Structures are given as structure tokens and as C-alpha cells.
Amino acid sequence: MQVRPADAGEIDYLAQLWHDAWHGSHAHLAPLELVRLRTLENFRDRLAVKLPDVCVVGPAGAPLGLCALKGDELNQLFVSPQAHGTGVAAALIADAEARLAARGVELAWLACAVGNMRAARFYEKSGWRNAGTFVMMSETSNGPFPVDQWRFEKQLTRTN
Ligand SMILES: CC(C)(COP(=O)(O)OP(=O)(O)OC[C@H]1O[C@@H](n2cnc3c(N)ncnc32)[C@H](O)[C@@H]1OP(=O)(O)O)[C@@H](O)C(=O)NCCC(=O)NCCS
């Protein structure tokens, strides 16, 4: 399964994918105020900033999933429901780990909303360890918003 950099022309499609996948998996877990702040425009704005660090799987113009890095963090991993269980997420996380290792990251981490059981199971079977709970300040158009998260970590092998 080929993982490739996101193309700037895919930003609207990817913003919709991220919006829909976030609401499908987080709307029942997140505070109502945060759900209201997570508009399509908000996803598009945040994606525009992240785009150089985003990789995708799927056809040009219609990717099936995206993965973004931020420093030593696996920052976002969202796959369209039609591609759940197909190996798209596995390809994206393997690529993300390789990109992090190539940056010299030895201990990678990610935040997963407390109660997001499918994601937690996926991370565990991908070799990540749940290191506990913390409060993350999520970026919103109203400033930082506190959200309870699980911190997952994985020791990587250096490739540079
Ligand atoms: C998280 C995500 C990337 C994982 O990709 P995926 O293709 O669904 O992952 P897989 O199907 O390979 O693995 C999911 C595992 O969770 C299991 N699972 C599904 N629902 C579950 C639940 N409610 N509780 C516990 N485990 C669950 C599946 O059975 C599978 O485990 P198995 O392979 O041992 O049977 C994808 O589901 C997704 O994009 N979800 C929406 C967005 C999201 O939550 N992103 C993560 C943000 S931290």
C-alpha cells in the first residue's frame, strides 16, 4: 500500500475527511463546546498549516486516510470509515514511524482521546504503549481547549 505526501490540491477533500472522521469518532467523547468549535473551516485552517507534514494513502484527489507529524509527535491519524480494517491505517502508522525515526526521534508519542477504544486497540496492536492520562490543550479558534487524553509512546529505532 503506497503512502505519499498530501498534495495541496487535496486540501478540501482531506479537510472533509478529517472533519467527518473526527465527528464520527469523537463527538460522543468530547465536550459539546469543543464539538461546536470543530467546524469544517476549522479543520481546513489547521490542515493548511500541517500540510507539509501530512502523508496520505489512496487515489490522487480522493485519499482514504491521512497522517500528520509534529516534532516528535504522531499528531493526527484519520482514516475514512470505508477504509477501516483494510490496512490503510497500518500503512500510515508504519510510514509515520519511519518518518519520525528519520528525524532522529527515539521516543515517539501521540495523544488519543480517553475512551476512543478502537484507536487505542489499534495503537496497542501497532506496538504503542499507553503511558497514562493527561490534559492536552487542543488548538481551537477560541484559543486552547483542555481535553483528557491518553498518551501513547513507542520506542523507535534510529535510521540516521
Ligand atoms: C483509529 C484508526 C486510524 C484505526 O484504523 P482501523 O483501520 O480502524 O484499525 P484496525 O481495524 O486495523 O484495528 C482496530 C482494532 O480495534 C478493534 N475495535 C473496533 N472497535 C472497537 C471497540 N469499540 N473497542 C475495542 N476495540 C475495537 C478492532 O477489532 C481492531 O482490532 P483487531 O484487529 O484486534 O480485531 C481508524 O479507526 C480511524 O481513523 N478512526 C477514526 C479517527 C480516530 O479515532 N483517529 C485516531 C485519533 S487518536
pTM, entire model:
0.96
Residue in 78, 118, 128 to alter for ligand 1 test, most ligand atoms within 8 A of Cβ: 118
Residues with CB under 6 A from ligand 1: 21, 25, 77-79, 84-85, 89, 112, 116-119, 121-122, 125
13, 56, 148 from 9: Cα distances, Å: 9, 13, 34
pLDDT tens for 104-115 read: 999 999 999 999
7, 50, 80, 119, 156 from 103: Cα distances, Å: 21, 17, 28, 25, 11
- The reported pLDDT for the residue numbered 158 is 64
pLDDT tens for 47-92 read: 999 999 999 999 999 999 999 999 999 999 999 999 999 999 999 9
Indicate the Cα dihedral angle 108, 95, 65, 87, nearest 10°. -110
Domain boundaries, the chain: 3-155
The CATH number that domain 3-155 falls under is: 3.40.630.30
- In this structure, which residue's CA is closest to atom 26 in ligand 1? 118
Spell out where the chain has E strands.
Answer: 3-5, 54-57, 65-70, 73-79, 107-113, 129-138, 145-155
- In this structure, which residue's CA is closest to atom 14 in ligand 1? 122
